[in-house]
Chains A and B, each alone.
Chain A
Amino acid sequence: MKVEVLQEKLSKALNISSRFIANRAQLPILANVMLEATKTKLTVFATNLEMSSVVSIGAQVSVPGKITVPSRILFDIVANLSSGKVLLEAQREQLKMEAGSFKGNVMGINALDFPNLPTSLGKSAFKMPQIELIKSLTKTLFCVSGDEARPILTGVLFVFSTNGLTLVATDGFRLTLTKIPVKTAIKDMKVVLPKGILIEIAKQLKSEPIGVEFNQESNQALFGFDDMVLSSRIIEGEFPDYEKIIPKTSKVTLAVDKQELLQTIKLSSIFARESSNVIKMTINKEGITISSESEKTGTQSSQVDAKIEGLEESLQVAYNFRFIEELLNVIEGDLLKIELTDGSSPGVFKDPKDPDFLHLIMPVKVQG
């Protein structure tokens, strides 16, 4: 293989690829990226066996061929080169590099042992508008569980129906549901995609629609961008019945100013941090009192104005403040709507600006 590419493009491609490499790969070759030169393209392959990326950049190819080299090292070298042409030449199991005055030799591994990665989408692929998808993803991803003991919750549920696409994520304590009103070729399907690949998709800032393909047989999801194909496994298993736990009715409805609530939550978090993140919300006719206490450092309480409907007697409910903080970060409008029933059933949080968004948080049971 002998090929000439531009540093900026190669650096960008390696940047994406490096995020698809496992941190601690047991097999040395899995810590490598594969470079393949064909006709007019240099393609960078990377995988951690959960997901994969295949990124192509324009190149001047003198000798086609392929080689794998350690991702970390190649990425660090290319990132530190000045922009301009970079010459890459494979000599047996070494990659010779030249750029300006720089000359380097990187030890690699024969590309034969590198796994096969999907490079293009099949016939059943369909298009999805990117901006809406990314917007919904950023509102959903913070809710995904990191608990590997329950793999099904480490992904986001995509529900395709005739009305559009619904995304659901939960970690068992809270749940987010967003809807994207798009018409897709698929009318009735549910898949759970891992968090990792969705984070990568959410990072891509391009306006063209994304090509999407789900391959049930190989249990794989493919995403096509114009010069890049990402793939991921699909998480198997039964996603918990989210429709059942969304409260159908509520007693009390609150409307609170987002900024004011966020500021108050931040204040109360100072003490709540030391008592398992619990803050108490007491709702009475005057508004919401948010209080927190720590045995070591002290106590606080502050009042937030709110428009309250349906309140008969004062209501107390306790939450993990981080959940509310993270929720407020994705609310678009100035107001947050909260619907409560009692102190022990999940509270429903809505964004008046975005009718397609719904969030549930399970209250914490506290003493006294």
Chain B
Amino acid sequence: MKLDNERVWKDVLESVQVNVSPAIYKTWFTQTKLTKLEKVEGGVIAAEVGCATNYVKDFIENRYFGIIQDSLKKITESSCSLVFAVKQFPSISRLEPTGESAPLFNPQAASVQINQMLQRSRIRPGFTFENYAVSGSNQMAYAAAEAVSKNPGNAYNPLFIYGGVGVGKTHLMVAVGHKILSDNPVSHKTLFATGEEFTNDIVEGIRNKTTPSVRDKYRKLGCLLIDDVQFIAGKDTVQEEFFHTFNAVTSAGGQVILTSDRPPSEIARLEERLRSRFEAGLIVDIANPDFELRCAITQIKARERGLDLAMDLVQTIAGNIIAAREIQGFIVRLASEVSVNNAELSIELIEKLLNKSTLDNGNVTIKYTPEDMISAVSKYFSIGKRVLLGTSRARPVAMPRQILMYLLRRDLKLPLEEVGRVIGRDHTTVMHAVNKITNLASSDVHISEDLMGIKKTLSGKL
């Protein structure tokens, strides 16, 4: 019979717990452990109980010897001899004083300092190249950013990154700052600010008459990162100040990286001299993530949350959610569902949450009526409305009809019954259709293309 110390001791403690008050149990017994348990001659079991301090050992030995021996006897089903010893638990004393918080004993690991520097530069530690997923839509921007981080000030100056909401502009920019800081902390003083913060600093400087110190803050930098630079457009003094800052930083060999939601040529009311300077460097765009990239993002985010997602689950998520931030939100919700409600990670759970998350998402305004949707679908598939809403169950008609039901349910958030009424079908039929398309959206490229196409038709029409 193999005896498992931890399990045996847990059983013993559980039976002891019944006999003593909770305060006594917590004070004395949580500081004990079974350190030795072995069979000696004659079938007797010798057990050694380790106690954290001598006070604990003394007390338990005098008071609870009998109770412990009794329950040990019952659990191991043989007579026991019991000894007590003072032993600190190896799990506590084994913690090595190396690494982050003891630089004296590990001079190489200076990560504390790096973190402090990141904080001073206002760079978020989580955004690095390592956790940035690359695919066709952001390949170019990634390559440019990497080149800049290896050779700041020389490769592309300024680097101008633009793209829609949640495509990873800021992540990429901050990753460059992170890399520059960890490679060469001394010569490249770095600062991350949003266009709005820059504006506020200037305004504050003017109001408090401290413009020189604001200038000091920005102009002496070795690397300036401005997020959402389009916010300074239309503000004359701020643009002028930024112009001089830009010149001061670049002429001293510093690197400037900017992000915006549109290319410089499309930023309205941007001064000509700024526009020409922005255009002098490299302008790269990041497009919306494609399906493969969304899968990669889903995996990265899931790993950060400690979730282990199978590939088919990843694809279901990536196939149904377009924006990267939404994916993150979904993973958070999934993780909390799994840890709080002990739900099992399964395709059903994900489908359930997908429905919920889109239904709960109240801030998306409904712009389209069911009629708009019907005409968009019929236009996209070139099927007459009458046929689409008719009784034919031929595949070329049935599939578009199911897509229509999916869209009515998911995008217009109509109740199942209402969708059924519009289509002239039972609500169970609608449920079937929605589930089917949800599945297909992740596995069938054509379906997801169709969905995108219909949405384009819709927005083009309005």
Spell out A's residues near B (CB within 8 Å). 25-28, 30, 47, 49-50, 52, 115-117, 147, 149-153, 170-175, 215, 217-220, 231, 233, 235-238, 240-241, 245, 275-276, 295, 344-346, 360, 362, 364-368
Given contacts A26-B27, A237-B94, 18 further A-B contacts (CB under 8 A): A26-B23, A49-B27, A50-B53, A117-B55, A150-B95, A150-B102, A153-B97, A153-B102, A215-B54, A217-B86, A236-B93, A245-B105, A364-B116, A365-B110, A366-B113, A366-B185, A367-B117, A367-B190
**Are B54's CB and A220's CB within 8 A?**
yes
Given A151-B92, A219-B53, are A115 and B58 also a contact pair (CB < 8 Å)? yes
**Are A360's CB and B104's CB within 8 A?**
yes
Closest 5 CB pairs of A and B: A172-B102, A237-B93, A365-B113, A236-B88, A219-B86
Given A362-B107, A367-B189, are A115 and B55 also a contact pair (CB < 8 Å)? yes
Most chain A CB neighbours (cut-off 10 Å) among B26, B31, B101: B101
- Closest B residue to A147 using CB positions: B101
Kindly list chain B residues whose C-beta atoms are within 8 Å of the C-beta of A346. 104, 107
Closest chain A CB from B190 CB (angstroms) = 7
Q: Residue-by-residue, is B181-205 near A (CB-CB < 8 Å gives 1, otherwise 0)?
A: 1000111111000000000000000
- Judged by a CB distance under 8 angstroms, whether B217 is at the interface is yes
Q: How far is the CA of A184 from the CA of B85 in the complex (A)?
A: 28
Q: How far is the CA of A152 from the CA of B94 in the complex (A)?
A: 9
**Are B105's CB and A30's CB within 8 A?**
no
**Are B103's CB and A26's CB within 8 A?**
no
**Are B104's CB and A174's CB within 8 A?**
yes
Closest chain A CB from B214 CB (angstroms) = 11
- Judged by a CB distance under 8 angstroms, whether B24 is at the interface is yes
- Judged by a CB distance under 8 angstroms, whether B57 is at the interface is yes
Kindly list chain A residues whose C-beta atoms are within 8 Å of the C-beta of B121. 367
Kindly list chain B residues whose C-beta atoms are within 8 Å of the C-beta of A364. 113, 116
**Are B102's CB and A367's CB within 8 A?**
no
Closest chain A CB from B76 CB (angstroms) = 26
Consensus secondary structure, chain B interface: helix
**18 pairs of residues in contact across A and B, judged by CB atoms under 8 Å:** A25-B27, A26-B27, A49-B56, A52-B55, A115-B58, A115-B59, A150-B101, A170-B104, A172-B105, A217-B85, A218-B57, A219-B88, A233-B55, A236-B87, A346-B104, A362-B103, A366-B185, A367-B186
- Closest A residue to B24 using CB positions: A27
Kindly list chain B residues whose C-beta atoms are within 8 Å of the C-beta of A238. 93
**Size class of the B contact interface (CB-based, 8 Å):** 35 or more
Given A236-B93, A367-B185, are A49 and B55 also a contact pair (CB < 8 Å)? yes
Given A30-B27, A116-B59, A368-B187, are A233 and B105 also a contact pair (CB < 8 Å)? no
- Judged by a CB distance under 8 angstroms, whether B420 is at the interface is no
Q: How far is the CA of A367 from the CA of B220 in the complex (A)?
A: 13
Q: How far is the CA of A236 from the CA of B62 in the complex (A)?
A: 24
Q: How far is the CA of A28 from the CA of B62 in the complex (A)?
A: 19
Partner of A152, one of B31, B57, B97, B110: B97
Q: Residue-by-residue, is B70-103 near A (CB-CB < 8 Å gives 1, otherwise 0)?
A: 0000000000000001111000111101000111
Kindly list chain B residues whose C-beta atoms are within 8 Å of the C-beta of A151. 88, 92-93, 95
Kindly list chain B residues whose C-beta atoms are within 8 Å of the C-beta of A345. 107
Given A365-B110, A367-B120, are A26 and B86 also a contact pair (CB < 8 Å)? no
Q: How far is the CA of A219 from the CA of B117 in the complex (A)?
A: 43
- Judged by a CB distance under 8 angstroms, whether B153 is at the interface is no
Most chain B CB neighbours (cut-off 10 Å) among A151, A241, A275, A362: A362
Closest chain A CB from B448 CB (angstroms) = 46
**Are A152's CB and B217's CB within 8 A?**
no
- Judged by a CB distance under 8 angstroms, whether B319 is at the interface is no
- Judged by a CB distance under 8 angstroms, whether B222 is at the interface is yes
Q: How far is the CA of A345 from the CA of B181 in the complex (A)?
A: 20
- Closest B residue to A219 using CB positions: B86
**Are B86's CB and A218's CB within 8 A?**
yes
Q: How far is the CA of A344 from the CA of B95 in the complex (A)?
A: 26
Kindly list chain A residues whose C-beta atoms are within 8 Å of the C-beta of B120. 275-276, 295, 367
Kindly list chain A residues whose C-beta atoms are within 8 Å of the C-beta of B27. 25-27, 30, 49
**Are B23's CB and A28's CB within 8 A?**
yes
**Are B102's CB and A368's CB within 8 A?**
no
Kindly list chain A residues whose C-beta atoms are within 8 Å of the C-beta of B86. 217-220, 233
Q: How far is the CA of A364 from the CA of B52 in the complex (A)?
A: 37
**Are A152's CB and B101's CB within 8 A?**
no
Kindly list chain A residues whose C-beta atoms are within 8 Å of the C-beta of B114. 365
Kindly list chain A residues whose C-beta atoms are within 8 Å of the C-beta of B187. 368
Kindly list chain A residues whose C-beta atoms are within 8 Å of the C-beta of B52. 233
**Are A295's CB and B217's CB within 8 A?**
yes
**Are A173's CB and B53's CB within 8 A?**
no
Kindly list chain B residues whose C-beta atoms are within 8 Å of the C-beta of A231. 54
- Closest A residue to B184 using CB positions: A367
**Are B95's CB and A149's CB within 8 A?**
yes
**Are B54's CB and A367's CB within 8 A?**
no
- Closest A residue to B101 using CB positions: A172
Q: How far is the CA of A149 from the CA of B93 in the complex (A)?
A: 9
Q: How far is the CA of A224 from the CA of B359 in the complex (A)?
A: 73
Kindly list chain A residues whose C-beta atoms are within 8 Å of the C-beta of B186. 366-368
